[in-house]
Amino acid sequence: MKKATIKILVLGLLLAASCKPALKVSSDYDRSANFSQYKTFTLYYLVTNRHVSELNEERIWNSLRAEMIKKGYREDNRNPDLVVNAVSVVKNRKAVSANSSAYGYGGAYRPYRYWGGGMVSGTTTFQTSNYKEGSLMIDVVDARKDRLVWQGTGNAEFEKQPKNPDVAISNAVNKILSSFPQGDATAIK
């Protein structure tokens, strides 16, 4: 009896987790960059389209700042090693799906002739659903060389605003920056 209860709980957790929007993350970096030389950063500019609220813009900035500090970088707005820039885009999308049901009989086709007539009947129904597609791109630029050294992107589809946008945005920024190299702000003299 206990095994059945545990299986039901695990199945419920898996189903609940599968309902969350999946954030697809990718990153790229300049292989010639020496990331150990970078100790400080500044936040530069957030580009958004009009579908991103000012509240979410602020959440993105706060999350970027917190993640960079957690990774061992110190914020320095006067003489930074790195400039962190972000671009956020939300687009309204529409999905269309079709469901067909057909029944009847038909003829057979051979390379040399067609056998029989046929009758096929059925219906096709179409359904549309609206959703949003969101992207957050984070660029990290070497401030002295004015050159892009790292870029991370997160994309997700969602139907409505998350219940707790602070946590959702923080988790997204954390996941995007997960492959960004660790810093050592303690090494600054």
Per-residue pLDDT reduced to its tens digit, 6-49? 333 333 333 333 345 588 999 999 999 999 999 999 998 767 66
Residue 117 belongs to a domain: no
User: How does pLDDT run across 155-185, given as a tens digit for each residue?
Assistant: 988 766 778 888 988 999 999 999 999 877 5
Name the domain count of the chain.
1
Q: How far apart are CA 69 and CA 24, in angstroms?
A: 24
Q: E strand or H helix at 155, and its extent?
A: strand 147-158
Give all strands (DSSP E) within 18-142, no chain letters: 24-29, 40-48, 74-75, 82-105, 108-110, 113-115, 119-142
| Domain assignment of residue 169, given as a range | 20-94+131-187
- As a whole number of Å, the end-to-end CA separation of the chain is 63
The more confident residue out of 51 and 171 is 171
Residue 153 belongs to a domain: yes
Residue 36 belongs to a domain: yes
Residue 74 belongs to a domain: yes
DSSP letter, residue 185: G
Domain containing 24 — which CATH number?
3.30.160.670
**If you average pLDDT over residues 81-107, what whole number do you get?**
75
Q: Is the pLDDT of residue 127 over 70?
A: yes
pLDDT band at 90 (very low <50, low <70, confident <90, very high): confident
Residue 14 belongs to a domain: no
Percent of the chain with pLDDT over 90: 40
Residue 40 belongs to a domain: yes
Residue 3 belongs to a domain: no
- What is the token pair recorded at 10? 């695990």
Nearest to 132 by CA among 160, 111, 165, 152: 160
Q: Is the pLDDT of residue 94 over 50?
A: yes
Q: How far apart are CA 144 and CA 10, in angstroms?
A: 51
Q: How high is the pLDDT of residue 22?
A: 85
pLDDT band at 73 (very low <50, low <70, confident <90, very high): very high
Neighbour tally for 90: CB within 10 Å: 18
Residue 105 belongs to a domain: no
The more confident residue out of 61 and 3 is 61
CB-based contacts of 51, cutoff 8 Å, min separation 6: 89, 90, 91, 92, 132
Q: How far apart are CA 71 and CA 159, in angstroms?
A: 32
